[in-house]
Amino acid sequence: MVLNKNVLGKMTEFEILIERLKVEERTWLVTGIAGFIGSNLAEFLLKHNQKVIGLDNFSTGYQYNIDEVRNSVGEELARNLYFIEGDIADLETCQQACKGVDVVLHQAALGSVPRSIEDPIASNRSNVTGFLNILTAAKEAGIRRFIYASSSSVYGDSKELPKVEERIGRLLSPYAVMKMTNELYAGVFSKTYGIETIGLRYFNVFGPRQDPNGGYAAVIPKWICSIQNGEDVFINGDGETSRDFTYIDNVIQMNLLAATTTNITSFDQVFNVASGGRNTLNELFQIICDELAKHCEFFEKPIPVYCDFRLGDIRHSNADISKAHKIVSYTPAYDIFQGLEETIKWYVEKNV
């Protein structure tokens, strides 16, 4: 992870936090630890002398992600990871996972707008029932800090750019409804039970370990691997749909800042987690091709195949991250170019 100092050379809040982690050991519950975001969070925590309890049912995550985390941190630090295979839709499993925990980083979910449209019942079981279970278990265990993943999908059909946390539009998918329900439940639990809940509205997160396969794969890993393997690259719509693509290390930073902040105005709040930029799908395709060309001696740029617009998708998405910066000192360390450089390097080396 790149750590940026401000223009005066002083340590950032995140750098100060990392120094504190060296001497302040906590026990963190990371739900969805076998997934893309969860495994990266767990790896960072373990490398910084923290204890991690991981929970996953492997519905969308993989054992090899956990294995890679253990290998990356080394045998000694890997002893600080305790894994529970189980489903957040089961309350008893959540209660077991919350024992002895100081902070919850709730990442587990059945992601994807199209998946929720195809099967809203299965998505709801994980994304609403599961969320309520883990939130209830945290309350019962006396856990004070509960950080959870929300989504930029809650902005719905709002045409305002950049997206500001306090203003949303009409929701466009079951997934968006579920994530908004999470925010409502978290708010009620904060007011009723005093849990310090903080929601993170992720904007198109990408990076190493993101699954490129399957019908619900995110666009960046899918395109990288399709181009590497000489397969067709499909672009939904006219390619002018735009997104605020956010590198995984920015997400790790925001989770840890939220989990450790002493600013009481951050509780019962939601924050945009993004880079604060915006790129169209056509631009993204060109950036990926340019970066891949650096790794391939005889790279030939493919011609993309344009398809229908995808049902439930927001047309444009760009985050205002000033609230997160002001309240918890969030400062993205990576833009899309730096993030894609690291991501593509990983996929090329792994030959995924």
User: Residue 254 in 3-state DSSP?
Assistant: helix
Q: Is 175 a catalytic residue?
A: yes
Answer whether the bond into residue 162 is a cis peptide, omega within 30°. yes
189, containing H or E segment: helix 174-193
The answer to whether the beta carbons of residues 34 and 64 sit under 8 Å apart is no
Q: Which of 163, 116, 153 is nearest to 314 (CA)?
A: 153
The answer to whether the beta carbons of residues 44 and 252 sit under 8 Å apart is yes
Q: What gap in Å lies between CA 22 and CA 24, rounded to an integer? A: 6
Number of helices (H), then strands (E), in the chain: 14, 13
Location of structure tokens 């997206």: 163
Q: What is the DSSP string of 115-132?
A: HHHH-HHHHHIIIIIHHH
Amino acid, single-letter form, for residue 93: T
Q: Which of 148, 155, 175, 334 is catalytic?
A: 175
The answer to whether the beta carbons of residues 348 and 221 sit under 8 Å apart is no
Q: What gap in Å lies between CA 135 and CA 143, rounded to an integer? A: 9
Question: Which amino acids are annotated catalytic?
Answer: 175
